[in-house]
Amino acid sequence: MAHGLASLVASGTKAWLDSVDPDLVRSAIADGATGATSNPVIISDLIKTGRFNDSLPSLIAAGKDDAAIAWTLVDELVTHAQGAFLDTWKKTGGNDGWVSFELDPLLEDPANGLSEDERVARYVELGTFWSAGQCNRMIKVPATPAGIRALEPLAAAGVPLNVTLIFTKPQYIRARDSVWKGAVKRASLDSFKSVYSVFVSRIDVYTEQHVPDLSPAAQGMLAIVNAKRVWAANHAFWKTHPTPLQQEIIFASTGVKQKGLDACTYVSALAGDGIQTNPPATTQAAAEPSRTFSRQVDTMPPAAVLAELDAKVDMQHLEEVLMREGVEKFVTPQKALLALIASHRAAIAAKV
């Protein structure tokens, strides 16, 4: 394991790979990764490499439409990654070694015209379908109004959950409470597992754009403060509601977006507990031999900085803006994936 990553893991952080590319999975495990997650961009990138050039014609010949092909490929890649992390899942008794499977982002596409009730029903239907018979597959559901409503029935049905697109503490609480309401309906909590993905870097992009009058000491600090507050709320809740397995925070979107910032700004500030799904470039920077990490996740900036952030930032507006942008970034890659498959279909048909 590279020295920097070994230091990060030693601090108490779990490292999950933000990809299910089989080549990256192998190298990530060697570097200490203990889980993985998937999304449409990952699948599209793999198609572009030509990895599926042999299988796409047979899937098309079998009569599958573009969406069915996309989900066949996702299922194949996630299943492969599950196999790679299965030993970790077994050794930890189901506490680690998970691979997240993202449900259809197009459920949140306004163009589909689905009502909230219809979206809830589809999340529950798809979540139970894609988790059936799987041991270390975690179902990823967005913290939209429909997604949050779907969490209770999914948790009650025994589905392991990764709640994604979380930007604020109130949003996290709504999601967590829905999960817990479902979990307590189960006959046993022995296999109950949930994680909550709080997005980090987009928070600081928001303050740069919407709260430019923050002082130099406060500008660029809200992402870290917000993530730590969500982590603390999660830690406090499960301390009073103990379960056999850990219910954890994932620090997601940890790649810096501002010029001049160290690549490991967020990695370092959030080290010490929880899970980090760092993008490849951030992981590479964290692996540098000169890097060392220590527990910082429960260390806050000065009180004056916290007071300024609380006084100047409208967190409700932040949630509304980032959720609107987040849903768009959730939907657009899925449409691009389907368009990519359609282009391959047309190219294959042109050769016939």
Residue carrying structure tokens 């490499």: 49
- Whether 351 is in a domain gets the answer no
Of 158, 232, 234, 224, which Cα lies nearest the Cα of 196? Answer: 234
Domain range for 198 is: 3-345
- Whether 352 is in a domain gets the answer no
CA 266 to chain centre: 16
Neighbours of 264 (CB within 10 A): 23
- Whether 350 is in a domain gets the answer no
- Whether 99 is in a domain gets the answer yes
Task: Write down the pTM of the prediction.
Answer: 0.95
Q: State how many domains the chain has.
A: 1
CATH number at residue 180: 3.20.20.70
Check residue 260 and give its pLDDT.
87
Cα separations in angstroms, 79 against 40, 72, 210: 15, 10, 42
Check residue 51 and give its pLDDT.
86
Check residue 350 and give its pLDDT.
86
Check residue 1 and give its pLDDT.
61
Instruction: List the chain pLDDT tens, one digit each, 352 residues.
Output: 667 889 999 999 999 999 999 999 998 898 889 999 998 888 888 888 888 888 999 999 999 999 999 999 999 999 999 999 999 999 999 999 999 999 999 999 999 999 999 999 999 999 999 999 999 999 999 999 999 999 999 999 999 999 999 999 999 999 999 999 999 999 999 999 999 999 999 999 999 999 999 999 999 999 999 999 999 999 999 999 999 999 999 999 999 998 889 999 999 999 999 999 988 889 889 989 999 999 999 999 999 999 999 999 999 999 999 999 999 999 999 999 999 999 989 988 888 6
